Amino acid sequence: MKKKIYGVAGFPVLHSRSPEMFNRLFKNTENIYTRFSSNNPKEIIKIIKDLGISGLNITTPLKEVIIEYIDYSSDDVVRTKAVNTIVYRDGALYGYNTDPAGVSNSILKKGINVRGKKSVVIGSGGAGRAAVCGLQDLGSKVYLTNRTGKKLDYYSELLNCDYFKINEIQDQIKKADIVVNTAPFSLVKSVLKKMNGNQVLFNADYKEEIDIKLNPILIDGLSWLLYQGAYSYKIFFKEEPDLQQMEDSIRKVNREKNQKKIILMGFMGSGKSTLGRYLGKISGKKWIDSDNFIELLTGKKIEDIFYQDGEGKFRKIEEKVLVDLLRIKKYPIISVGGGAVINKLNRILFKSNAINIWVWCSVNKIEERLMSGKRPLITKKSDIKRYYSNRIGFYGEVADIVIPNTRDIKEVSKRIKMELDWE
């Protein structure tokens, strides 16, 4: 059975906890969920169609700009002018926005009644507009503001809510029963820290620590993530998810992996070695290519090992070399051969010991590159699509993040550095 790929797309996206939330539910199924790093909607649409992705969650900065590529939009997309969930079915792209439900269900599950009460939403981006809609669905009177004042009148009319300029925020928050903040917390903390125990503060960003001494009732961004994710799951599979499993997974994330090695994997011809070499150069970290290491170890070219000893022999050598390279501290960045992921032990080792980056190129671009040279296993054009199709599920299973290698190598390397939060 062919594996179905789901994921979350945006930039930066390595911090997203959505994969933990969905993969907990996907255990013992043929579904996999990973991250796609891109700020370009055309790039994401191309990936969806090239890989046959079944569904994607969409995050910053793609929620608004990706709308024009959607074939069918739900009512919540029309209301908010933003998409956060895409289903690819029968060659068409269906767009949804589960964020309003994420907001309203977070409030309801906390036992808070906002009907007839005043709410303030800080930020008019996709998240802010979704918050307005979610609060309105619960019967709250909503006031919108943003830090720049730009287009507030437009969004107020679009969402049928009131608005105020940021210089009024202190007085408006004093009168509010609930405040939903979608702006960087550090930029509005001086005002929010004056909220008291009779008020509710809902902070969208689950990565930021909140410390307010007057103890308003707090709803954190993980709650929003949970309930919008649960609604996405229902859209993907037409059934309710196990909420407890989803919540357990996102509140117990182990970030130790961020200190481990970087594996660059992907199909032959996707540019893993070129990218690894340049990434090592600009980061000051040592890089090695596992195929090059095998050639040094055996004194043979990779294609000669394949032709003289067979693929089985090569895979045994490759497995031993990868075990050694993952143990040796000298090389923090490792580019691995295109077929390394077909070995189950390799996949287990990668997932346990590294941040795994799937370097993606479209199959058409790979065909252009490979047919002009000589590669083991590739004797005709049809071989490329066959091997490519067979390995997609393995790459998706292992990958912590997918980096499209469709731009200048310097730009792609810079994107990786930002995702990894390297200085």
Distance between CA atoms of residues 52 and 6, nearest Å: 10
Cβ atoms < 10 Å from Cβ of 335:
27
Distance between CA atoms of residues 365 and 46, nearest Å: 12
Whether residue 95 contacts residue 75, with contact meaning beta carbons closer than 8 Å, is answered with no
Cβ atoms < 10 Å from Cβ of 115:
8
Whether residue 37 contacts residue 13, with contact meaning beta carbons closer than 8 Å, is answered with yes
Q: Phi/psi at 55 (nearest 5 deg)?
A: -160, 145
> Tokens standing for 95?
């767009």
Catalytic residue flag (residue 189):
no
Contact partners, residue 6, CB within 8 Å, separation at least 6: 22, 31, 32, 33, 53, 54, 55, 56, 57, 236
Map residue 389 onto helix, strand or coil: helix
Contact partners, residue 57, CB within 8 Å, separation at least 6: 6, 7, 8, 9, 18, 84, 85, 229, 232
Q: Which residue out of 63, 118, 261, 272 is catalytically annotated?
A: 63
Distance between CA atoms of residues 116 and 62, nearest Å: 33
Active site residues: 63
